Amino acid sequence: QVQLVESGGGLVQAGGSLRLSCAASGRTFSSRAMGWFRQSPGKEREFVAGISWSGGSTAFADSVKGRFTISRDNAKNTVYLQMNSLKPEDTAVYYCAADVTLFSWPVPTGRSEYPYWGQGTQVTVSS
């Protein structure tokens, strides 16, 4: 089992930055790809970014490429989402998720591939 707790959300002006953190419990964190998803009212939960178990490979949604980065610290069982140049359309609840498969390749981007979820953290970007 993997338990995930997100933090770092908040209110920021357009053009600003936030860094989200996701702390994981369990002994398999370093063996699992990790993803960040987001969901805004009335919309489906969508993939934002993912990182392989080793940190050597990443994937991003087109809408955040060049603005967001994802990283992980396996020694701390933590994955991060650095969000720069934030836009009002980035407003959503952001969720951290852990891959179902150990040592998977390539980085999974589908919601169904991530059975472990955190509770979410709200990010609000004002114009």
**C-alpha closest to that of 6 among 125, 124, 121, 123:** 121
Distance of CA 50 to the CA centre of its chain: 7
CB 34 within 8 A of CB 103: no
Confidence of residue 26 (pLDDT cuts 50, 70, 90): confident
Query: Looking at residues 95-99, what average pLDDT do you find?
Result: 97
Query: Looking at residues 40-58, what average pLDDT do you find?
Result: 96
Measure the CA–CA gap between 58 and 42, rounded to whole angstroms: 28
% of residues, the chain, pLDDT over 90: 95
The mean predicted confidence, pLDDT, of the chain is 96
Q: Which helix (H) or strand (E) holds 2?
A: none
Structure token digits, residue 17? 């930055």
**Residue 110 pLDDT > 90, yes or no?**
yes
